[in-house]
Amino acid sequence: MTWSEPVAVAYNGPASRCYDPCLWMDMLGRLWFIWSIMPEHAVYASLCNNPDADILNWSKPFIIGKDVMMNKPTFLSTGELMFPIAVWDRNVQAVKGCVSEGEERLPFVYRSTDCGTTFERLGGPKVEKRSFDEHMILELSDGRLMMFIRTLYGIGKSYSYDGGRTWTDAEASGYVGPSTRFHIRRLSSGRILLIYHDSTSKRSNLAAYLSEDEGETWKWKLLLDERDNVSYPDAVEAKNGYIYIIYDRERGAFCKGLEELYHNAREILMAKITEEDIIAGKIVSKDSRLKQIVSKLGVYLGPMINPYSEKLLLSTDEYVKQVMDLPANEKMIDSILEDFGRCSLTLDWDTIQNLNAKIEYALNLDKKTSRKELEKTIREILFIFKKGEEANPVDLFPKMIAYINNNLCVDLSLDEMAQALHLSKFYMCHLFKEKAKITIMSYRNARRIQLAKKQLATTELSITDIALSLGYTDAAYFSKLFMQYEGMTPTQYRKTSRKINNMDEGGLS
């Protein structure tokens, strides 16, 4: 099977994003090309009246409604068209900070009673644990409308008893699985087809299900693709009974760079099956196929040198400009350590000391009055980092933990710790806080207080002796620190712990 190059593109200018396209053949044989637009928060469509022609002619784009639509409309037995258009919950955003106006935020239904000339927004259900709704509508044999909705727990469902004007509060459909797109439709046989994951949490085991009792039970299943990261199915039924299913695999949508991207398949695939295949649970029809690649991305050949704006691929000028835009010196240094800190792992000790001095100097400069000097120092810091080779810091955190615990009672400075571990003091502190979410000194103090509590509860050592044994040279400072951590003085803690121990031993009645 072969495929043509694209034949139509939705474009609304450089300031807009056209996304979530949907193709649909209506009852009149017209091909609908539907897409969403941001930041306009609108759903547009264009019609092709003769999709079998050699040259396709498309109508002028027209608006259907607000905000987002991905899945196919539904043609009702009454002749009405039902379009599943959602206004996402405020905490669900495709682009951070880009939220539409309006208080009513539901998976709505838009209705057209004149074959797509005009559109009217009806109702939508309240849904708990909403995600990107990506809902679909199905007309049941008793006239009710059933809506399936993507949720955080899988698929929710709701019913309308008045043609879509009002909806029951959504409830669990019984399909617990990953929060992702599904597909549901009625086939010409009268059975209902559902395409979803036979998995409780992962986007794997994409399967086709059949129901012959209006979705109450799903007797038959065919596994379409068992691999991980297969998702977003859509389907059509041909006149000859074959069902064509499209989906993607390892789209690479959240990669941070080209190297990471190339480890993903980035495929669009197709399955061609029949109801008989689903009932049999395996391929039995002559022309049925699974896992057919429709499109596969290769190496990026576009004009952009650094399409992901990867910091390590930026020129020094570009990187320095980004860093200098950060609000505080500490933020600037933290960003540099995050991006280049691991390069310091291969530097010699003299170079590390020079690096530490430059960072210390940069932290103490006034950004407003010494901006040029700060920028010059940042460039010098980057130059030193780039002398080293990037190394993997995977074993460093447990080494730091072990070193601190082995020297818990020694009054070591951060400089002494860093030298013992052959690390930049600043990268050591950055990496530790990134992993533990607290500073090195906070961790050491917490561990020392733990030991102090044991000694207070089980020995007769004086407060001063306990402080000295834990590396504190000032008993008053130790007592103040103990108060901060425990909310009481060491003496109060000793009395309280002794009372508790006496109670445990039956000393109080």
The answer to whether residue 422 sits within a structural domain is yes
Q: pLDDT at position 395, please?
A: 86
Mean predicted lDDT score pLDDT of the chain: 93
Instruction: Decide: helix, strand or coil at residue 287.
Output: coil
391 domain residue, yes or no = yes
Considering the domain architecture, whether residues 338 and 428 belong to the same structural domain is answered as yes
Residue 169 sits in the same domain as residue 212: yes
Q: What is the pLDDT of residue 306?
A: 84
> CATH number for the domain including 482?
1.10.10.60
C-beta separation of 123 from 145 below 8 A: no
Cβ atoms of 24 and 44 closer than 8 Å: no
Strand partners, 136: 148
Q: Pick out the chain residues at pLDDT < 70.
A: 1, 94-97, 501-509
Residues 285 and 366 in one domain: no
Other beta carbons within 10 angstroms of residue 249's beta carbon come to 23
pLDDT at 78: 94
Pairing of the two strands 74-75 and 62-65: unpaired
Q: How many domains does the chain have?
A: 3
Q: What is the DSSP string of 89-123?
A: -TT--SSTT-----S--SEEEEEESSSSSS-EE--
CATH of the domain at 262: 2.120.10.10
For residues 280 and 137, membership in a common domain is answered with yes
> 275 with 325, same domain?
no
**What's the pLDDT at 447?**
94
Q: Which residue range(s) make up the domain with 180? A: 70-296
Same domain, 328 and 452: no
pLDDT tens readout for residues 38-64: 988 999 999 999 999 999 999 999 999
Of the three residues 404, 437, 470, the one that is the final residue of a domain is 437
Domain annotation covers residue 217: yes
- Considering the domain boundaries, does residue 226 fall inside one? yes
Residue 210 lies in a domain: yes
CA pair distance 56, 48, nearest whole angstrom: 7
Q: What is the pLDDT of residues 80-132, one digit of tens each?
A: 999 999 999 988 876 666 777 777 899 999 999 999 999 999 999 999 999 99
Distance (Å, rounded) from C-alpha 140 to C-alpha 368?
68
Are 266 and 133 part of one and the same domain? Answer: yes
* pLDDT at residue 314, as a whole number: 84
Q: Concatenated DSSP letters for 249-314?
A: E---TT-SSHHHHTTS--EEEEEEE-HHHHHHTS--STT-EEEEEEEE--S--SS-SSTT--GGGS
Residues 466, 386 share a domain: no
- 411-446 pLDDT, tens digit each: 899 999 999 999 999 999 999 999 999 999 999 999
* Residue 258 falls inside a structural domain: yes
- Same domain as 459, residue 432: no
Among the three residues 230, 264, 296, which one is the final residue of a domain in this structure? 296
Residue 74 lies in a domain: yes
pLDDT in tens, 172-194: 998 889 999 999 999 999 999 99
Q: State residue 97's pLDDT score.
A: 66
- Is residue 240 domain-shared with residue 345, that is, in the same domain? no
pTM of the model: 0.71
Considering the domain architecture, whether residues 163 and 240 belong to the same structural domain is answered as: yes
Shared-domain flag, residues 137 and 152: yes
Contact 272, 286 (CB under 8 A): no
pLDDT at 508 (0 to 100): 39
Neighbours of 93 (CB within 10 A): 13
User: What pLDDT was estimated at residue 442?
Assistant: 94
**How far is it between the farthest Cα atoms of the chain?**
97
Q: What's the confidence (pLDDT) of residue 206?
A: 98
pLDDT of residue 509: 36
> Per the domain annotation, does 456 fall within a domain?
yes
Give the pLDDT of residue 213.
96
pLDDT the model gives residue 313: 80
Residue type, 308: Y
